[in-house]
């Protein structure tokens, strides 16, 4: 589940306001791109990996998978997403 929140690209970073917590977060462009992909529709982890690899123009390999896992975990800890179990 994704909470509704305003997100703006500003000065090379994404600024995200979470009205549920009242917190404002600054995300780098890569984390912001992952969050944008998630909020545009339900994606599997493998789809997020493919999207990020294409965005960064790098191979879709274990490094991307590790990076996506770290970003998803951080977004969850910030309360910006709520991962769903199972595929």
Q: Domain boundaries in the chain?
A: 7-77
Q: What span, in angstroms and rounded, lies between the C-alpha atoms of 14 and 31?
A: 8
β-pairing verdict for 7-10 and 23-27: unpaired
> How much is the average pLDDT of 57-74?
95
> How much is the average pLDDT of 73-85?
85
Closest CA to 52 of 35, 40, 74: 35
- What pLDDT sits at residue 87? 44
DSSP-derived letter for residue 18 is E
Domain 7-77 sits in CATH at 1.10.10.1150
- What pLDDT sits at residue 4? 61
């Amino acid at each position: 589940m994704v909470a509704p929140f305003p997100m703006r690209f500003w000065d090379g970073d994404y600024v995200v306001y979470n009205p549920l917590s009242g917190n404002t977060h600054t995300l780098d462009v890569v984390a912001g791109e992952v969050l944008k992909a998630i909020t545009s529709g339900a994606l599997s982890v493998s789809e997020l990996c493919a999207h990020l690899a294409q965005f960064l123009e790098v191979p879709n390999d274990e490094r991307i998978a590790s990076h996506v896992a770290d970003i998803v975990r951080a977004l969850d800890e910030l309360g910006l997403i709520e991962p769903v179990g199972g595929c």
